[in-house]
Amino acid sequence: MKDSGIKRACLWLILCLCCSCSKFLDVVPDNVATLDNAFTSRIQAKKYLFTCYSYLPRNGDFDNDPAMVGGDELWRFATEGGYFSIAQGYQNVVSPIGDRWAYYFRALRDCNIFLENVGRVPDLREPEKRRWIAEAQFLKAYYNFCLVTMYGPIPLLKTNVPVNAEGHEINKGRAPVDSCFAYMVSLLDAAIGDLPPTIIDPANELGRVTQPIALAIKAKVLVYAASPLFNGNADEGGIKGQEGVQLFNTVFSKTKWDSAAAACKRAIDACHQAGMHLYKYHPDFQQYQLTDTITTQLSIRNAFCERWNSGIIWANTLTNSSNLQWLISTPWDPGNADITWIRGWLSPPLHIAEMFYSNHGVPISEDKTYDYNHRYTLKTAGDSDALYIRKDYTSAYLNFNREPRFYADLGFDGGIMYGQGRYDDSRPGDLFYLRAKHHEQNGGGKPNFGTVTGYYLKKPIHFQNVIGTGNDYSVTYYPWPIMRLSALYLMYAEALNEANGPAAEALQYLDMVRDAAGLKSVASSWSTYSNNPAKHTTQRGLRDIIHQETLIELAFEGQRFWDLRRWKEAQTVLNRPIKGWDVSQELAATYYRPKNIFSQQFGLKNYFWPISENSLSIDRSLVQNIGW
């Protein structure tokens, strides 16, 4: 962010919100606590536990989360750095972008310190002690998981190294990746039984770990372990650890998918027993009878933005969504078009807009009723389009006849911005809409302002945010969802299909996600509208459907970056140009022309982070990742 004053103000508000909403973030100050007093009382020990929590990644923060702008899902101005430099191909070994090697090992060290000392707290009752131990064990598993997803095989820091340790004890070397996953699972298994099934003190404990959270993360760990990046990855066969031990198993194991499916089902059952279900919006505007169109869009938007709703398994209270909402919002209210707090940053590229289904619930390239070859031609919105695109507005055919998630997730030139202070959808002409051509209210022409692709990120913006007078922008805060029930359903469908092919149960859980998004079943949609009507009846075909459904359902939540890697699809998907509309144009006829913005390149080495040269020099037993 260029404006340091705005940044300071945002950070101050974040601190205020975190203090009021997340009391459990009271951590041990680095310059005060020592091991001599950290475990002398329950209060001090609790602070140390929350220090262990404080290392959780800041999901959704594009300055801290590589998945937001490090791939191909969102694009920024070419002058921006940070994780965006990964997307531009500037990763390096001297000072790796987003290096978290030392950070997460420090987290593991603090978790080990807690586990080694919590037993000597004099006033800690046994049930609470068991819960705290379970939380620390969970956090150890999660930080190991974060490391493995970034770096692949890692050293396993099961206990802290003594001060007087010998060299062979200090330099452990990288363990085989199967051993890494097995260790995570053992930690989670040890923790699950002593975690509460639900949070009974929401005012003070929301965000702390429960049984459903631990079971869902175990399911995710096992799904990753079974995925092509880690299961039978012959491309990584050349990397070996100490004494020539192969770090990747190059032989595919179906059993891993069986284990993943069983873990997903157990997690789903625990979530259901805790009262969780896929979220659906129930209109709370008594003066308006909302249409099914808007109700479905709000179900999609609020499934992510309504804090602690029925479909959220785990949310990160360390990430404050308000900062992101300020940055991605655009001045949709013509009464205050010059508000400086909001910039309209983070632009979905054209291929992301094309990824969403048609209104028939199949890919637009497969829908036999969709004029795919003329998707860039112009069309004028009519009465039937009025809740999606401003009536009489001329837009690209690509923006018409799309599924509800397209309109809930994306903002675009002429697109309706429902809510934001205007809630009567019986009068579509009164609703806000975007004008994104050059020099228009939401278009380019000002430095570091507006979309660079022609699309805006809409999904994380709460529909009740309101632009006021001057620089007033009322933002609805919510913690960033780490795991939603829909993601767990999709992992279960994926694991079932990979283990046993296109079974009915895989389609059942896939269809539940589609139903919440306003779509008909896979079988109905493909058999009726697809030019490949039997696609869902084969394992490979259903795999493609599940992958696309996952990318759509979890779009802009920080998952695509990792999923493309674990599926080993990144070398295909991330080796194509980033495109958008020609946003420097003022007329529809010239604006709606695809334009290359950047040519991405992704090689085998980019599946994992490089271990920094400094880390390699400290621990001579480490071997570098392939290609670095």
20-65 pLDDT, tens digit each: 334 444 555 454 347 879 999 999 999 999 999 999 999 999 889 9
Residues 272, 59, 89: CA angle, nearest 5 degrees: 130
Domain assignment present for residue 158? The answer is yes
Tell me: do 199 and 335 sit in the same domain: no
Q: Are residues 326 and 247 in the same domain?
A: no
Name the band, by pLDDT with cuts 50, 70 and 90, for residue 362: very high
* pLDDT recorded at residue 19: 36
Q: Give the mean pLDDT of the chain.
A: 92
Is 166 a residue whose pLDDT tops 60?
A: no
Q: Which of 219, 243, 276 is the last residue of a domain?
A: 276
Residues 470 and 354 in one domain: yes
Rounded-to-integer distance, Cα 270 and Cα 584, Å: 52
Q: In one letter, which amino acid is 254?
A: K
Type of residue at 252: F
Give the Cα separation of 144 and 381 in Å (integer). 51
Q: Is residue 469 part of a domain?
A: yes
Determine, yes or no, domain membership for 615: no
Dihedral angle at the C-alpha atoms of 443, 61, 468, 393, nearest 10 degrees?
A: 30
What does the pLDDT average to over 181-203? 96
Q: Is the pLDDT of residue 171 over 80?
A: no
Both 270 and 352 in one domain: the answer is no
* Residues listed for the chain: 628
Give the residue, 25 or 207, on which the prediction is more confident: 207
Q: What is the pLDDT of residue 35?
A: 80
For residue 195, give its domain range.
4-57+100-276
406 and 308 housed in the same domain: yes
- Residue 442 to residue 450: CA distance in whole angstroms: 6
Look at 24-38, 57-71, 291-305, 386-400 and tell me which has the smallest mean pLDDT.
24-38
Is 74 part of any domain?
A: no
Q: Summarize the confidence of residues 348-362 as an average pLDDT.
A: 98
SS (H, E, C) 44-56: HHHHHHHHHHCCC
Which residue type does 268 have?
A: I
pLDDT of the residue at 13: 34
Tell me: do 370 and 502 sit in the same domain.
yes
Residue % of the chain over a pLDDT of 90: 83
Q: Picking from 214-223, 335-344, 498-507, which range would have the lowest pLDDT averaged per residue?
A: 335-344
Same domain, 219 and 323: no
Q: Which residues are paired to 422 by β-bridges? A: 419
Residue 90: inside a domain: no
Q: What integer pLDDT is reported at residue 451 of this predicted model?
A: 92
Total tally of structural domains belonging to the chain:
2
Any idea which residue has 């009322």 for tokens? Answer: 474
Query: Are the C-beta atoms of 410 and 458 separated by less than 8 Å?
Result: yes
Q: What is the pLDDT of residues 578-612, one digit of tens each?
A: 999 999 999 999 999 999 999 999 999 999 999 99
372 assigned to some structural domain: yes
- Note whether 194 and 116 are same-domain residues: yes
Nearest to 295 by CA among 423, 187, 149: 423
CATH number at residue 369: 1.25.40.390
User: Do 447 and 490 share a domain, yes or no?
Assistant: yes
Q: Is residue 87 part of a domain?
A: no
592, 578 Cβ separation under 8 angstroms: no
224/337 same-domain check: no
Check whether residue 225 and residue 362 sit in a common domain: no
Residues 81-99, mean pLDDT to the nearest whole number: 95
DSSP per-residue letters across 80-122: --TTHHHHTT---SSS-TT--HHHHHHHHHHHHHHHHHGGG-T
pLDDT at position 91, please? 97
Q: Do 343 and 255 have their domain in common?
A: no
| Least confident residue range of 90-99, 262-271, 342-351, 453-462 | 342-351
Residue closest to 196 by CA, chosen among 143, 130, 137, 278: 130
**Is residue 347 situated within a structural domain?**
yes
Is residue 573 within 8 Å of 72, Cβ to Cβ? yes
Rg (CA), the chain: 25
At residue 286, the pLDDT reads 66
DSSP string, 212-263: HHHHHHHHHHHHHHHSTTTSS-GGGTT-B-GGG-BSS--S--HHHHHHHHHH
3-state SS of 540-553 is HHHHHHHHHHHHHH
Amino acid at 380: T
Stated as kind and residue range, the H or E segment containing 432 is: strand 432-433
**pLDDT (0 to 100) of residue 17:** 35
Residue 309 CA, chain-centre distance (Å), reads 17
pLDDT at res. 170: 56
Q: Which of 344, 325, 346 is nearest to 440 (CA)?
A: 344
CB 213 within 8 A of CB 483: yes
